[in-house]
Chains A and B, each alone.
Chain A
């Protein structure tokens, strides 16, 4: 039985207003920007300025005239021009965008299934009686919280091809385009497999022992128990983890920024990375906003796909 009172709006209002101000309004603003071409130009002006002494009086030269010096004034001027849908149509013909989409999707298709699969296997392992389970579990959690940008650089030294700890493999971890994207995926897998593991372990520990015992007495094999008992029972959890991992993985930014700088070439330039560079390095803000909306649309489709499941979980 839930309470009703007008007071409930007072409890809710601060957070709602905050989100409207700092998310909904910026998104609306960004949509406006996406229909414009915004250009920033530097205007350089040279002016002569009188030289003053410490008392603030003009200093005179030998001819008795006030001394002057040249001063350069830089003004950044922003011009906004309405261009309709052209930023959006440009998306479809831009080879850089196509490459970035490809990089991001290949990354998601490598990283997410491995994270879920490996996470599930490790969770099964840790669900057995093993030595020092809680201590090992605690260590397993650490990668999730390790600063991604710091670990990106840390992995840069691990993948270092001349003398790094993986150099004995002879694999061109960062210099070959295909391997570089794989290396980016490895860092993500390192960071997020523990998350999948942790959630699956929690779910596995919620499976009643009697159920497994009964299955064993009925003569079910380990494979049967996995596919006919555990996987169906854990399905809701698997779907939530899949949603969260896909939604996070398409945002890929920090790891290529640190590990490869998007290279070699554009082999690891993810979609977010491209949008960030277009907007905040090359200041093509209108186009970058349109790009961001493209990503937003994809994420919305993913979320809507899982929406029914989400509603059940937050019922």
Chain B
């Protein structure tokens, strides 16, 4: 037994080391940006290798203070936050009742699964197919470069996540609670609002965070719609390159500013991510 235990322990150690190495490799690009954000301009070019603070270079917070204080960056942070929060709330408000309807009610002419796939097909649609008409429509409504235009479009493309994830959630809730409420004389709205919704609240919160992150990261529509007023964080990053060439140390700060919120969300909403990203097609 001892021999076998030792062999198992060796295997455990070897596989652990491989797993740690793989994880570090995947973390490296994010770490690299972080490391650059802490460097003096001179250090970004002279230091080859992997940039470990206090080993390869003396870290400084100067880039952070310089960048995060600029009105452009604070404005972009404000825009991204307003747009993503509004779009996420809007998508939850529109999508949750629809998810409930597909999970609980029977539709005949269009079968429930076809309605689900109809919503899902939204997500698979190439965004470049809708960006041109959307741009023209917003131009004729005089809504180019407004928060509203980006809130509308972001809500549209995150809506399928809400429908498909919450549909699965409602299917997994015990239907008996709602049915006994109905027997007690409640109507469908009360059964949804008072019984099902509180039970689905944790998944709704997680879904809200995930779709917030998707809106935060969205670039194609943001760059098409914005010219001055509604520069979001991704557009802000892209714009910096055109005007000044790539200044690695500032780019590091901006990349971190962009990446930190969605990455924190990924850590918080971990449990729900598989279902979210596969649109509920795979449980987990």
Is B205 part of the contact surface with A, judged by Cβ < 8 Å? no
| List of B residues within 8 angstroms of A154 by Cβ | 29-30, 32-33, 251-252, 255
| List of B residues within 8 angstroms of A128 by Cβ | 12, 15
| List of B residues within 8 angstroms of A140 by Cβ | 22-23, 26
Q: Tell me whether A149 and B234 are in contact (CB under 8 A).
A: yes
User: Interface with B: A22-30, A48-56, A58-66, A218-226, which one?
Assistant: A22-30
Q: Tell me whether A198 and B263 are in contact (CB under 8 A).
A: no
Is B265 part of the contact surface with A, judged by Cβ < 8 Å? yes
Is B153 part of the contact surface with A, judged by Cβ < 8 Å? yes
Q: Tell me whether A280 and B131 are in contact (CB under 8 A).
A: yes
A296–B284 CA distance with the chains assembled, in angstroms: 30
| List of B residues within 8 angstroms of A29 by Cβ | 133, 136-137
Q: Tell me whether B188 and A299 are in contact (CB under 8 A).
A: no
Q: Tell me whether B128 and A315 are in contact (CB under 8 A).
A: no
The residue on A at minimum CB distance from B235 is A149
| List of B residues within 8 angstroms of A16 by Cβ | 98
Is A72 part of the contact surface with B, judged by Cβ < 8 Å? no
Which of chain B's residues 203-248 have a Cβ closer than 8 Å to chain A?
A: 213, 216-217, 219-220, 224, 233-234, 237-238, 241, 246, 248
Q: How far is the CB of A66 from chain B (nearest CB, A)?
A: 34
| List of A residues within 8 angstroms of B137 by Cβ | 26, 29
Q: Tell me whether A310 and B120 are in contact (CB under 8 A).
A: yes
Please pick, from A141, A168, A275, the residue contacting B48 in the complex, using a CB distance under 8 A: A168
Q: Tell me whether A237 and B282 are in contact (CB under 8 A).
A: yes
Q: Tell me whether A289 and B132 are in contact (CB under 8 A).
A: yes
A237–B32 CA distance with the chains assembled, in angstroms: 33
Is A18 part of the contact surface with B, judged by Cβ < 8 Å? yes
Interface residues on B, range: 35 or more
Q: Tell me whether B132 and A151 are in contact (CB under 8 A).
A: no
Q: Tell me whether B266 and A144 are in contact (CB under 8 A).
A: yes
Q: Tell me whether A279 and B131 are in contact (CB under 8 A).
A: yes
A275–B284 CA distance with the chains assembled, in angstroms: 36
Q: How far is the CB of A298 from chain B (nearest CB, A)?
A: 9
A195–B265 CA distance with the chains assembled, in angstroms: 15
Which of chain B's residues 137-194 have a Cβ closer than 8 Å to chain A?
A: 137, 152-153, 155-156, 159, 163-164, 187-189, 192
A141–B262 CA distance with the chains assembled, in angstroms: 11
Q: Tell me whether A4 and B128 are in contact (CB under 8 A).
A: no
Q: Tell me whether B273 and A141 are in contact (CB under 8 A).
A: yes
A190–B25 CA distance with the chains assembled, in angstroms: 9
Q: Tell me whether B251 and A3 are in contact (CB under 8 A).
A: no
| List of A residues within 8 angstroms of B100 by Cβ | 11
Is B130 part of the contact surface with A, judged by Cβ < 8 Å? yes
Is A8 part of the contact surface with B, judged by Cβ < 8 Å? yes
Q: Tell me whether A285 and B132 are in contact (CB under 8 A).
A: yes
The residue on A at minimum CB distance from B105 is A8
A141–B27 CA distance with the chains assembled, in angstroms: 9
Q: A3-B104, A11-B105, A237-B282 are in contact. Are A311 and B132 (CB under 8 A)?
A: no
Q: How far is the CB of B220 from chain A (nearest CB, A)?
A: 6
Q: How far is the CB of B154 from chain A (nearest CB, A)?
A: 10
| List of B residues within 8 angstroms of A194 by Cβ | 26
| List of A residues within 8 angstroms of B117 by Cβ | 307, 310-311, 314
Q: A26-B137, A27-B133 are in contact. Are A130 and B259 (CB under 8 A)?
A: no
| List of B residues within 8 angstroms of A18 by Cβ | 94, 155-156, 159
Q: How far is the CB of B215 from chain A (nearest CB, A)?
A: 11
Is B6 part of the contact surface with A, judged by Cβ < 8 Å? no
A5–B216 CA distance with the chains assembled, in angstroms: 38
Q: Tell me whether A198 and B98 are in contact (CB under 8 A).
A: no
Q: Tell me whether A279 and B132 are in contact (CB under 8 A).
A: yes
Q: Tell me whether A145 and B105 are in contact (CB under 8 A).
A: no
Please pick, from B51, B126, B131, the residue contacting A165 in the complex, using a CB distance under 8 A: B51
Q: Tell me whether A247 and B128 are in contact (CB under 8 A).
A: no
Contacts A154-B30, A280-B135 supplied; 14 other A-B pairs, CB < 8 Å: A12-B98, A23-B122, A29-B137, A30-B129, A125-B18, A130-B16, A131-B16, A144-B266, A145-B263, A147-B262, A158-B29, A251-B126, A275-B128, A303-B121
Closest 7 CB pairs of A and B: A202-B284, A8-B105, A11-B101, A15-B98, A26-B133, A2-B106, A131-B16
19 A-B residue pairs with CB within 8 Å: A3-B104, A3-B188, A11-B188, A30-B129, A146-B30, A149-B237, A153-B246, A154-B33, A157-B44, A157-B252, A165-B32, A168-B48, A199-B284, A202-B282, A206-B284, A276-B128, A296-B129, A299-B126, A307-B117
